[in-house]
Amino acid sequence: GVIYLSVLMGFLVEAISAMMNRATRGLSPLVEDDHLIVIGFTHKCLEVLEQLALALESDGGGLIVVLAGEDDDSDDVHRVIRDTIPEKALRGSKIAVRRGNPQSLADLQRVSVQDAKAVIILSPTGTSADRADCSVLRTVLALTALRGDADHTTHIIAELQDIDNRHIVQVTGGPAVECVVSHDICSRLLLTTSRHPGLGLVYDHIFGFEGSEFYLKEWPQLVGRTFGEIYASFPTAVPIGLKVADRRPHGIMLNPPRDFRVSEGDEVIVLAADDDTYAPALGSAEPAEPQGFQFAGEESKKSMRERVLLCNWRRDVDDMLLMLDEAVKDGSEVHIMSDISLEERRDVFHVEGFDEDKLRSITLHHHVGRTTVKRDLEVVPLREMDSVLILADERHEASPLESDAQNLATLLLIRDIRQSCKERDDAASLSERKLLSIEDDGSRRSLDDVDDCSIICEILDSRTSAVARVNSSIAAQAEYVLSHGICAKILAMVAMRREVKAILDELLTDDGHSPMVFPASKLDGVTGDPGRTSFAALARVAMDKHVLLLGYQKIVEGQLILNPQKKDVESLWSKHDLLVGL
């Protein structure tokens, strides 16, 4: 009996050891449902995990599964996650790591993808855009095969790098797939922020799960009411539009006409702290318009010629040039500074089918040199620039910290060169400076306006952004766009509530409704001494000109407030205060 027992114990110990070995290597099966899966352990993965944990906090946490690559060591992945995301930041959520091939049906079944709430496919790094998108496409094919014809509620969020590949992935995955083209989103945010300073901070607040978020809900008691009445009916939320039941393709209508009436089945889109923090107050009346206030409107974006400098080389720089060509006045200039040779640039343009001679509004100027070397930067007419965009170079995208270090070095050099130019100009006599001042047609900037240049710096790693925020000497040098962080927020938002994707598309596309930041001086009446009125009253003035106020930033307080909770409380407003509208 002792012999048989010893043999049995030997088998049990061996079986348990094998199971433990598979678990530590990330190869054990996972039996779960309603969990979240992130496929691919990239630099963006950590940002996505933190956002998902934040979103799950109101539910007491949840399970997030990371399916890392076959070559990744699960212990190393666990260690990186543990070292980067503290236990407190997980907010009750648990993270499980498995290894496998995302194109293998067996490996996908091992993490129970068919029972997951959502699956996020992160774009691979260290390869070309087309190869990365092909990898995502193959993963979508595998996931679609597992779904079959069954009525699964799992939806798939696919991160792509090239907007030209979106259609084929969407067709392959069908209605279950939502595509997020990260490079295109970053390009639009960078250009928009450069032309509208302050907008980068607004987008950072709108996206993600900190503060107010987008919610859609049908309110039967609002049927038959106009949007103008609805806008004044939510004391703890800001209505921004409607999801119209009989409107296709997605029914989203942001900032609809004030007299548009809500029909049965329509949903109200709001910016609110949470889905249980707002409800319509039907007895609310539209606030009276403050006396002496009128909305002055926004100046034309094409009112003057511009000079724009692009530092470093992005893979989609041709798309950025086309966006700029549509946005600026004829006769504007775009300068590109990079150590990539002119021949290489022409080859890239040729492959992408881009012809710079067909640009209508801008003239392209090429400069070859390193953006981290002062003597190379001094070749560029920096003092004449209206805006400077310091882009994350495509060759350093796989090393975010290295890319950020180079961008910060470029930023400080540009500021130093511009400051030296200003000091030399200040030494000149007033009469000499007037002779060099702006021409009447607005084609050149005055030397007095040399500090009016908007500098936008793209940051990839959130740790760099955190350091920049606490370092006053760096924080004040430019406006920072945390591209990986914003894309991670968008991916997490769509994973939690896929209906938000249509709203984000409206906010980020050319023909949609983008947020805007403008000074309170645009409201005639806030031009001298501060005026005393409420946010709700100011919102009424703006709404008369088809602008929805989302929030504000008072110059004294400095904090950006979206969806203010005490909308009817009067306070002092200065012409320097900023308003956020849609």
582 residues of the chain, pLDDT tens digit each: 667 666 667 666 666 655 555 555 555 777 788 899 999 998 899 999 999 999 999 888 999 999 999 888 888 898 999 988 989 999 999 999 999 999 999 999 999 998 899 999 999 988 888 999 999 999 999 999 887 655 567 899 999 999 889 999 999 998 899 999 998 899 888 988 888 888 888 888 888 888 888 999 999 999 999 998 899 889 899 999 999 887 766 788 999 998 899 999 999 999 998 888 899 987 655 555 544 445 554 444 456 789 999 999 998 899 999 999 988 889 999 999 999 999 999 999 998 889 988 899 999 999 999 999 999 999 999 988 999 999 999 888 878 889 999 999 999 999 999 888 877 766 654 445 444 443 444 433 333 334 578 899 999 988 888 888 778 778 778 888 898 999 999 999 999 988 888 888 888 876 668 888 888 877 655 444 457 788 888 888 888 888 899 999 988 887 889 999 888 888 888 888 889 998
Q: Do domains 23-189 and 307-442 have the same CATH topology?
A: yes
Its CATH architecture, for the domain 204-287, is: 2-Layer Sandwich (3.30)
> CA distances (Å), 572 to each of 288, 526, 539, in order?
17, 10, 15
Say how far apart CA 235 and CA 219 lie, in whole Å: 15
Surface-to-core class of residue 85, CB atoms within 10 Å of its CB (0-12 exposed, 13-18 middle, 19+ buried):
middle
On whether the 307-442 domain is CATH 3.40.50.720, my answer is yes
- The answer to whether 268 and 262 have CB atoms below 8 angstroms apart is yes
| Amino acid residing at 316 | D
Which of 2.60.40.1260, 3.40.50.720, 3.90.1260.10, 3.40.50.300 would CATH assign to domain 23-189? 3.40.50.720
CB neighbours of 398 closer than 8 A, spacing ≥ 6?
A: 43, 125, 126
Q: List the chain domain ranges.
A: 23-189, 204-287, 307-442, 519-581
Neighbours of 103 (CB within 10 A): 15
pTM score, whole prediction: 0.85
Say how far apart CA 482 and CA 382 lie, in whole Å: 24
Tokens of 181: 């083209």
